Chains A and B, each alone.
Chain A
Amino acid sequence: MAASGSTRRRATPRERNQTLWFWVFVGPFAVGLVLFTYVPLAWSVWLSFFDARNTVSPTHFVGFGNYTAVLGDAAFRDALGTFAVFTAFIVPATYALSLALALAVGRLRRARAFFRSVFFLPTACSYVVAALIWKLSLFNGVRFGLANTVLGWFGADQVAWLSTTDPPWYWLVLVTVRLWLQTGFYMVLFLAGLQRIPPRLYEAAAMDGARPGWQTFRHITFPALRATSVAVVLLLVINAFQAFDEFYNLLSDARGYPPYARPPLVYLYYTALGQEQNLGLGSAGAVVLALIIAVATVLQARWFGLGRREEA
C-alpha cells in the first residue's frame, strides 16, 4: 500500500535498485527481529518436544509429553485462573478510573496541568519501586505499615495483607499497585480522545435538548471515544497477561513463591529458569501461552473491528 502508482516504473534495474534500498533500510531491523524473536520461538517449540531438564540441547524426544504434562499441571491451570481473575479486576477498574479522571480533569478550568501531572507521575515509577513501597511500607503486615496504622486509628486488628488468603487481601495490594502505576497513562489516552471529539457534536446535542452530564456522556462522549476505548482495553488485557514484576516483587521470597496469585509468567519463570530447570516443560508452557495470546488478540481485534479503523 506504500507504493503509490506514480513512483512505480517497469524499469527492472530501478526496481532492483529499490529492492536494495528497501533492505538497506529494513534489513538490520528484520535480521534482529528474526534472530531475537523468531529464532527463540522456534527453539522454544523444538525444546517443548524434548525432556530438557538442566540443559538446552536435549536428546530425549518425548513428543507431546510436555504439553500433556503442562496442561495437566494444576499449578499451570491455576496460573491461567490467576490471570483471569486479575484481568477481571484490573481491566474494568483501570478503565473506569482513568476515564473518570480524564473526564474530570478535562473539564477543569484551572489547575488542569497540575492534576494531570499528579496522576501521570506514577508512570515514571517502575513496578519494582512501587512494589517495594507497597510491600514494605504501605501494606506491610505489622504495626508500622501505613494501612495497618490507619486501621489502628479505628481500633481494627492488624492485617497481613500479602499473606492472607482468606479473605484474599493480596488482591487489594496487587490491584492497587497496578492501578496507581498505570491509571495516569490511560487517563492521558482518554484526554487525547476527548480532545478529538468535535465540539459541534456537543452543540448539536444541546440543541436537541440533551442535558449536560450523564445524557451527553451516554450518547455523545462515550460513543465518540470508541476507538480509544478499544485500544485501552486491548492494551490493558495484554499488559495483564504479561504481569510479572509486581507479583514477583510483592510475593516471592528467598524460598520461592506461594501457590496463590501465581500468574503465567511467574509460573514459567520458576519452572524453566528456577531451580527446577525443566526447560522442556517451561517451553511447552510458553508455546501454549503464546498461542493463547495470539488467538485472543486476533479475536479481540475481529470483535472490535480493529482492521476497519485504519481505513476510516
Chain B
Amino acid sequence: MAVTTISRRRLLTTGGALALAGGLAAACGSNTGRGGGGSKVRLSQWYHQYGEAGTEQAVERYARAYKDAEVKVQWRPGDYDQQTAAALLTSSGPDVFEANGPTLDQIRGGQVADLTDLVQGVRDDFHPAALKPKIWDGRVWAVPQVIDTQLLYYRKSLLEKAGVRPPRTLDELVDAAKRLTDARVKGLFLGNDGGAGVLGGTPLYAAGLSLVTDDGRAGFDDPAAARALAKVRQLYADKSLLLGAPADWSDPAALIQGLTAMQWSGLWALPQIQKALGSDFGVLPFPADGPSGRPAVPVGAYGSAVSTRSGQRDAAKAFVKWLWVDRTDYQEDFALSYGFHIPSRLSLAAKAGKLKEGAAAEVVRFTADHGYAQPLLWTVASRTAYQDALSRIIKGGADPESELRSALRTTEAELRRVQKKS
C-alpha cells in the first residue's frame, strides 16, 4: 500500500517537475536542473514517541510549513536510542533526527555532522545545561530542542492524611514513602525497575557528587555515593516502591490512578496531572542527602542532529537551522502547547507565561538552581555498568561499595579510552 502511494506521489512530483521544467525552459531558455521548484529535496526526520497528545501532529505541521524541502516525519515508539544507533550504520537512516545525545562515540565515529555554524550568533541564548552535553572539541553536534526536567510529584491530600510533610532530604523521602504505603497504595513510584533506569546519577548529584567531573574524571569515587544509594535500596527494601505498573514512570497514569502517593516523572506530565488532580498535587526536586548534599534536578535535552550518511546533508542542516534556530514560534509551541518542557532558548523561557505560575514556576526555579545534565563523557558502556550496579544495589541488596567500585573501574577505563587521542 505504502509502495503505491509513494510511487504515485513520486510520479506526481516528477510530473510536476517536468511540467515546471518545461515551463522554465520555455521562459528562460535554459534549465539548471536542480532547484526546479517542484523537485524538492526529500528529508526524513525522526522523533521519539512523545506521550503527550498533539505533539506528533505539531511536528508534522512544522515539517509541512518548510518550503525548501519535503520533510517526512517519522514517529518512533520503543527503544528510540537503540533504533537511531542502528539506523546510523546504514544509509537508509534518517537525515535529521532528534537525539538524547548524540553519544560521544557517535560524534567520534563521525556519524553526526558538525552544526556549529547553525547556532552562530545565538549560541549564548541556549540554556548552558542543555548545550554543554552537545559540545565536543569546541564544536556543537546537535541543536537543543527543549529541556526536559524530571521531578517528584506528590498527592497533597495523601500526604496530609498520613501526616507527612513534603520530603526535603533523602531520609525524609524514605520515611515518607514508608508511611504513605498501605495495602492498596504504594508510597513512591520510581519506574518499574525500582529506579535504576530513570534515577541514574541523580542520587549522586543529590549527595553533592557527580558522574564525571568537569576535568574528566569519575565523579563518584566517594563514600557518600554508597551511602546515598543505600537509601534508595532502603525504599525498595521497605516495600514502599510501586513496581510492575502497566505504564512506566514517564506516564503519570500511576499517580492519577491512585496506585502511588508520589511519583518521579517529567515536567511534560504536568498538564495531564493538573487536569486529573486539580490542585491536589505538589512538585519537588530529588531531595538532598548528607552534609554536602543539594537537591538534584536531572535535565535532558533532546537535540536535533544531522546524520553524516545523509545524502542531503546541507539541506538537512538548513532545515535544522530553520526549525530549531530561526522559528522561535514553533519552538515555543513545541515546548509548551502539549506537554510542558522548558524551551532551550533563554529568551523564550523568560517570556513563557505558562511557566510563570503555580507548580510550573516552581519547577523552572529549581531547575535553574539545581539542574544537571548527563555529561557527554558518560559513555554508554559506563552508563550500562553503573545502571547494572544500581539495579543490583536496589533490587538485589548488593553491597553498594563493591558494586560502585566495579562501575568505577569501567568508567575509568572508558574515560581513558575516549580521552586518549582527542
Contacts and interface: CB of A to CB of B under 8 A. Distances in A.
Q: Is any CB of A less than 8 Å from a CB of B in the complex?
A: yes
Interface of A: 53-56, 74-75, 136, 139-143, 145, 157, 160-166, 252-256, 258-260, 270, 273-278
B411 interface: no
A141 B245 contact: yes
B84 to A, nearest CB: 8
Given A140-B244, A160-B243, A277-B85, A258 B105 contact: no
B391 interface: yes
Contacts, number: 114
Contacts of B396: 165-166, 260
A-B CB proximity, top 5 nearest: A141-B244, A160-B243, A255-B197, A54-B109, A259-B388
Interface in B187-211: 191-194, 196-198
B250 A254 contact: yes
A136 B395 CA distance: 21
Contacts of A253: 191-193, 197, 248
B302 to A, nearest CB: 13
B78 interface: yes
A273 B391 contact: no
Given A136-B246, A253-B248, A274-B85, A54 B105 contact: yes
Contact of A142 (B242, B250, B391, B395): B242
A98 B194 CA distance: 37
Interface stretch (B37-45, B55-63, B142-150, B379-387): B379-387
Majority-rule SS of B interface residues: loop
Contacts of B111: 54
A275 B243 contact: no
Contacts of B19: none
Given A254-B250, A273-B86, A54 B106 contact: yes
B136 interface: no
Given A140-B246, A142-B244, 8 more contacts: A164-B395, A166-B396, A253-B192, A254-B250, A260-B395, A273-B86, A275-B85, A277-B105
B348 interface: no
Contact of B105 (A53, A157, A162, A252): A53
Contacts of B197: 253, 255-256
Nearest to B81: A275
B244 A53 contact: no
Contacts of A160: 192, 243-244
Contacts of A252: 79
A165 B392 CA distance: 9
A192 to B, nearest CB: 40
Given A141-B192, A276-B380, A277-B89, A75 B388 contact: yes
Given A54-B106, A166-B396, A275 B246 contact: no
Nearest to A161: B244
Contacts of A53: 105, 109
B184 interface: yes
B268 to A, nearest CB: 14
A139 B80 CA distance: 26
A145 B80 CA distance: 28
Interface string B350-381: 00000000000000000000000000000011
Q: In this complex, which of A162, A259, A278 has the most chain B Cβ atoms within 10 angstroms of its Cβ?
A: A259
A292 to B, nearest CB: 23
Contacts of A136: 246
A163 B239 CA distance: 12
B380 A275 contact: yes
Interface of B: 78-82, 85-86, 88-89, 101, 103, 105-106, 109, 111, 183-184, 191-194, 196-198, 239, 242-246, 248, 250, 259, 380-381, 384, 387-388, 391-392, 395-397, 406
B246 A255 contact: no
A141 B192 CA distance: 9
Contact of A275 (B82, B196, B391, B397): B82
14 contacts: A140-B245, A163-B395, A166-B396, A252-B79, A253-B191, A254-B78, A254-B79, A254-B80, A255-B193, A255-B387, A259-B387, A273-B85, A275-B101, A277-B380
B89 A164 contact: no
Nearest to B250: A254
Q: In this complex, which of A142, A143, A164, A273 has the most chain B Cβ atoms within 10 angstroms of its Cβ?
A: A142
B251 to A, nearest CB: 11
Nearest to A255: B197
Contacts of B198: 255
B47 to A, nearest CB: 14
Q: In this complex, which of B105, B244, B391 has the most chain A Cβ atoms within 10 angstroms of its Cβ?
A: B244
A193 to B, nearest CB: 40
Contacts of A55: 89, 109
A245 to B, nearest CB: 15
B140 to A, nearest CB: 19
Contacts of B242: 141-142
B243 A141 contact: yes
A93 B399 CA distance: 34
B259 A166 contact: no
Given A54-B106, A143-B184, A163 B193 contact: yes
A157 B184 CA distance: 9
A272 to B, nearest CB: 9
B244 A256 contact: no
Nearest to A139: B244
Contacts of B105: 53-54, 276-277
A258 B197 CA distance: 8
Contacts of A254: 78-80, 248, 250
B88 A54 contact: yes
Q: In this complex, which of A139, A166, A256 has the most chain B Cβ atoms within 10 angstroms of its Cβ?
A: A256
A258 B391 contact: yes
B122 to A, nearest CB: 29
B395 A166 contact: yes
Contacts of B109: 53-55, 277
Contact of B381 (A141, A164, A276): A276
A142 B246 contact: yes
A153 to B, nearest CB: 14
Contacts of A255: 191, 193, 197-198, 387
Contact of B194 (A145, A161, A163): A163
Nearest to A252: B79
A259 B387 CA distance: 8
Given A142-B245, A166-B397, A275-B81, A259 B103 contact: no
B364 to A, nearest CB: 25
Nearest to B197: A255
Contacts of B89: 54-56, 277
Contacts of B196: 258
